[in-house]
A and B are shown apart, each in its own frame.
Chain A
Amino acid sequence: MRYPVDESSAELYPGEPEDAMAIRAIEMTAKDLVLTVQDYFFFAQRALMNLFRPPIYWSEFLMQADIIGVGSLSIVVLSGLSTGGVLALQSAATLSAFGVTTITGQFVSLTMIRELGPVLTGVMVSGRNASSMASELGSMVVTEQIDAMRALGVDPIRKLVTPRIAATIIMLFFLTIVADACGIVGGGLVTVFMNHQNGTQYFDKAWEHLVYPDIIQGLVKPLFFGYILSSIGCFYGMRTTGGTQGVGRSTIQAVVWASVIIIFVDFLLTQVLLRFFPPL
């Protein structure tokens, strides 16, 4: 049972005082939020559990891996290169004030691998793929294609959602590695060609101070981010109502919530991972 949250709900109680109406609107919005969160957890859990039960749609998985992974490669490479370059540019001025420009490589590599690589890739891939999942599945819902699939005896969560989630988790892991590498290369290019520093020294420092806990931290995060962005994209797509306007609304909600939750979960994950792998 869903609760009305729009203005029309006021018509249910004609003559109600304005303050009571406001309280009721808040109550309904809160209930709606709680129900949405509950629906999301059931949905995401069901989609994940499908990974461990046959049938698994491998062809759908490979197709989505191509769309999500290969399709996102160019934006990840470009954003990685630019972010690494910006980090090198910004850090050079500050580090030169302390006479330690030699550690630019260390600064760029650690920042990219531990934080910016996973988060930036997650947000970029959300913008591209959470939106496309929400709009694609949303269009299928409003044109009754999802109902048709169910009527033909096929589980749309198993057929459409689970392969997207699995493909996103796996491909985001590899895209993060690409973003990290591009960021370090971008920082190196700026260091050599714009800051006129020694490239060998930059890459030596970038490598020298890198330890396994840094890499583990950086590669655990995309597994969570991939799950979050794909499950949110599919969730909003599958609960689309209201025709083409509803598809647009679902797409916006999917991108906004996926990006915000990725950043919030990054904060939580970093705290947990720092307990397991304290800074040296």
Chain B
Amino acid sequence: MNDSAASAQPGQENAAYAGPVVALHDVSIAFDGPPVLDGLSFTVAPGETRVVLGPAGVGKSVLLKLVNGLLRPDSGSIRLFGEEITQMPEEQLFPLRTRVGMVFQEGALFDSLTVRDNVAYQLIQEHIPDEEIDQRVRDALRFVELEETFDLYPASLSGGMRRRVAIARALIRQPELLLYDSPTGGLDPVTSTTIIELIVKERDVYRTPSLMVTHRLQDAFNLCNHRFDAQLGRMVLLPKGETDSNTTFLMLNEGRLIFDGSLHELVKCKDPFVREFLE
């Protein structure tokens, strides 16, 4: 996205707030059975990228939905941009959610709308003039290298292209927080790398705090040991031994947080489950 697009909708409604973007304290949730998440506490600081690791079905997607207020916890506290959202009425959550960009597992594009209308969905609701919308959509699609899909419907896109359009939709309003729900799930390694490259590019260009859920260790490591090179226009490997200091890891197992720390701490962790997951 170019500078004009970025400045047109800065999305910095709460610029005065300097605390954690997301703060969970002792959060638990269950659905007709044992807890899916049990006593979870962590924070996401401004500019920080947190990668949530864990096996399939451990509650990673539920965690993202809790952070965005799409689900309510049974107990505990969730603060988003400093505001307690666990008891907040749905009507008050809508304006708060416009400050968050969320990429769903399968993209969740509206199949009755074109790519242009999907990416511009929030802007259309805000009655922004068509010319400006077209420009900003083209900028967002250019960011994910899919400008040629402007008039297409989601049905005619591949799985990887859908995820990239979903990323463009999440980015168009320059959100203050990004939530990625298994953005590479079900994709081939080449397409997965393309998606991770976009996430690295977003992290290093806009420095938007983000929470990325994945069960693919390779993607998590790629995110941590690469940086985006604006000159080359692609991500490059960091020198050996160096990692992105703002990218840290969380690991879930059986609904509980069993690890919270950097990549170095993760690879040295003695927890048997972490060891098994890594190996």
Chain A residues close to B by CB (< 8 Å): 2-4, 143-145, 147-155
Contacts and interface: CB of A to CB of B under 8 A. Distances in A.
B74 to A, nearest CB: 9
Nearest to A159: B125
B32 interface: yes
Contact of B104 (A2, A3, A144): A144
Contacts of B65: 147
B121 interface: yes
15 contacts: A2-B32, A4-B32, A143-B111, A145-B110, A147-B108, A148-B102, A148-B108, A150-B70, A150-B94, A151-B68, A151-B70, A151-B102, A152-B121, A152-B169, A153-B95
B106 interface: yes
A3 B33 CA distance: 10
A240 B110 CA distance: 17
Interface string B157-185: 00000000000010000000000000000
Interface string B82-126: 000000001100110110101011101111000000000110010
A143 B104 CA distance: 10
Given A150-B70, A151-B104, 13 more contacts: A143-B106, A143-B108, A143-B111, A145-B110, A148-B109, A149-B110, A151-B97, A151-B100, A152-B97, A152-B122, A152-B125, A154-B94, A155-B90
Contact of B91 (A3, A143, A155): A155
Interface centre among A4, A150, A151, A154 (most CB of B within 10 A): A151
Contacts of A155: 90-91, 94
Contacts of A148: 102, 104, 108-110
Interface residues of B, number: 23
Interface of B: 32, 65, 68, 70, 90-91, 94-95, 97-98, 100, 102, 104-106, 108-111, 121-122, 125, 169
A53 to B, nearest CB: 10
A154 B118 CA distance: 13
B97 A153 contact: yes
Nearest to B179: A151
A147 B103 CA distance: 11
Contacts of B105: 144
Contact of B108 (A2, A3, A145, A153): A145
A28 B55 CA distance: 33
Given A153-B98, A154-B94, A155-B91, A147 B70 contact: yes
